[in-house]
Amino acid sequence: MVLLSTAVGIGFIHTLIGVDHSLPFVVLGRAQGWSVRKLIAITTLCGTGHVLSSVVLGFIGIGLGVAVERLEWIESRRGTVSAWLLIGFGLAYASWGLYRLFRNRPHHHVHVHQHNEVHAHEHRHQDEHVHPHGLDRRAITVWALFIVFVFGPCEPLIPLLMVPALAHEWSGVALVALVFGVTTIATMLLVVLAGYYGLRPSFFALFERHVHVIAGLMIAASGIAIKAFGI
């Protein structure tokens, strides 16, 4: 019970202070107009990949008899990769937002009709030339975010798994992994939904034309926070 309580506490705190566990979903959800159901589904998908990657690594380490220190070193390297991936993803999304912003600037078309009558009208390219071929931009965004979270480590999970593993209590190993995973995902959902409802659409409405640029920069900032503060 002490070990399971520790798994709950660490899973909750680890997720709560990790801004990267929630901010990307909040800003993308608002920027892309996700429904609450879609937001929950994507957060759960990424959270599951995030936890399972560390669980699989932990079980492989247990099976091979790898020392805790070695596994924690691998997890820390994964953390570095994850932070850079998050920064890169945010900057790429912001760059796409800039491209979209400049492409969709209103401009005028001039037409000359009969009797030399000149007519001009304002025109945008927004949402034009969209073809239903292959994965669309929204699907690519979701799967890119999923890959980033699969690389993201759950460093506190490894030593928690090793405690029952040393006693060959495999049911205990599975139970600790399950409790930690459920706590992590539940906390992610709690924080994401709180942020989603707290960040009202009116905020993004103020920056309607720049919403994707702002969202990308905020995601990149969460990756920078991981690098700078180790959270």
Per-residue pLDDT of the chain (231 residues; tens, 9 = 90+): 888 999 999 989 988 888 888 888 998 888 888 899 999 999 999 999 989 988 888 888 777 777 777 777 777 777 788 888 888 988 998 888 888 777 766 544 444 555 555 455 454 544 444 444 444 667 788 888 888 888 887 778 888 888 888 888 888 888 999 999 999 999 999 999 998 888 766 666 656 667 788 888 888 888 888 777 766
Token pair belonging to 6: 């520790």
Inside any domain, residue 2: yes
Inside any domain, residue 30: no
Concatenated DSSP letters of 68-121 = HHHHHHHHHHHHHHHHHHHHHHHHHHHHHHHHHHHHT--EEEEEE-GGG-EEEE
Q: CA–CA distance from 149 to each of 56, 172, 203 (Å)? A: 14, 26, 27
Backbone angles phi, psi at 104, to 5 degrees: -95, 10
Inside any domain, residue 32: no
Neighbour tally for 175: CB within 10 Å: 15
Nearest to 225 by CA among 16, 20, 7: 20
Domain count for the chain, please give it.
1
Inside any domain, residue 45: no
Rounded Cα–Cα distance for residues 213 and 231 (Å): 24
* Per-residue pLDDT, 109: 47
Inside any domain, residue 15: no
Inside any domain, residue 38: no
* Per-residue pLDDT, 200: 67
Inside any domain, residue 202: yes
* Per-residue pLDDT, 132: 42
Inside any domain, residue 23: no
Residues 6+ apart with CB under 8 A from 3: 160, 163, 164, 172, 176
Domain holding 152, by residue range, is 1-8+53-105+132-231
